[in-house]
Amino acid sequence: MISSRCWIIYSNDPLIMTETLLRQLEVEDLSALAELEACCFNPPWSDSQLHSYIVGKRCLSVGLWQGGRLDCFALLSTVLDEAELLQLAVRPDFRGRGLAKRVLQCVHDQLRQRGIVRNMLEVRSSNAPALSLYRSLGYQQEGIRKGYYPTADGREDAILMSCNNLKESSTE
Ligand SMILES: CC(C)(COP(=O)(O)OP(=O)(O)OC[C@H]1O[C@@H](n2cnc3c(N)ncnc32)[C@H](O)[C@@H]1OP(=O)(O)O)[C@@H](O)C(=O)NCCC(=O)NCCS
């Protein structure tokens, strides 16, 4: 049975017939989420941190599943009519195929349905793929936190971005 929190099901390649599912993450998804988090971030967030974003009343967690495997997720917190994107990742082998864009478009739709029109985020100044992704979705730079993130040999800036007019978007 499809959960009411499942938003999109489609097969993006008729030859492979891989089922793709875009839905809200549930507590049962914690181990899959932790596995993907560990593939994408060093150090990864702890299981209890991830759990708090799945169950949090003012949080939104979206996962994209392909053939039953979690390949992309986004975690957000919300306050009144604003949201903040806290974590976004795509499985390394599946980057550059439009998965993150699709998940963020779904996130925008879900936020709008909650009456939220503004989303904010922070990104490392060296993270060209993420910066390009956010710009392509209408995010604009709002500020810089100098030396905010540690690197292997020093510090790097955080770029603060926001999208102040979340538009209706097609996730088809
Ligand atoms: C950043 C990240 C989420 C992008 O996911 P993705 O699924 O590869 O991105 P998409 O394929 O949806 O790309 C959407 C847009 O992002 C931009 N983009 C994506 N990868 C890019 C790259 N390697 N170089 C330049 N631009 C890139 C492009 O504008 C692209 O649009 P286009 O294909 O129409 O030109 C992914 O690289 C990732 O998981 N990185 C590690 C974790 C991370 O950095 N998360 C973000 C923390 S702020």
* pLDDT number for residue 114: 93
Q: Say how far apart CA 20 and CA 95 lie, in whole Å.
A: 15
Q: Tell me the average pLDDT of the chain.
A: 90
Mutate to test the pocket of ligand 1, among 105, 108, 133 (most ligand atoms within 8 A of CB): 133
Q: Provide the domain limits for residue 22.
A: 17-163
In a domain, 168, yes or no: no
**Is residue 172 very low, low, confident or very high in pLDDT (cuts 50, 70, 90)?**
very low
Closest residue by CA, ligand 1 atom 23: 129
Helix ranges, the chain (H): 30-40, 47-55, 99-113, 128-136
Q: How many other C-beta atoms lie within 10 A of the C-beta of residue 168? A: 8
* pLDDT for residue 13 is more than 60: no
Active site residues: 122, 134
Give me the number of domains the chain comprises: 1
In a domain, 11, yes or no: no
Q: State pLDDT tens for residues 71-86.
A: 999 999 999 999 999 9
**Is residue 166 very low, low, confident or very high in pLDDT (cuts 50, 70, 90)?**
confident
In a domain, 9, yes or no: no
**Is residue 4 very low, low, confident or very high in pLDDT (cuts 50, 70, 90)?**
low
Which atom, in ligand 1's list, is nearest to the CA of 92? 39
CA of 21 to the centre of ligand 1 (A): 19
Which atom, in ligand 1's list, is nearest to the CA of 101? 12
Q: State pLDDT tens for residues 16-74.
A: 567 889 999 999 999 999 999 999 999 999 999 999 999 999 999 999 999 899 999 99
Q: Return the axis-axis angle of helices 99-113 and 128-136, rounded to nearest 10°.
A: 50
Least confident of 23-27, 58-62, 153-157, 167-171: 167-171
* pLDDT number for residue 8: 66
Is residue 137 within a helix (H) or strand (E), and if so which, with residue range? none
CATH assignment at residue 151: 3.40.630.30
In a domain, 56, yes or no: yes
Closest residue by CA, ligand 1 atom 42: 89
Closest residue by CA, ligand 1 atom 41: 89
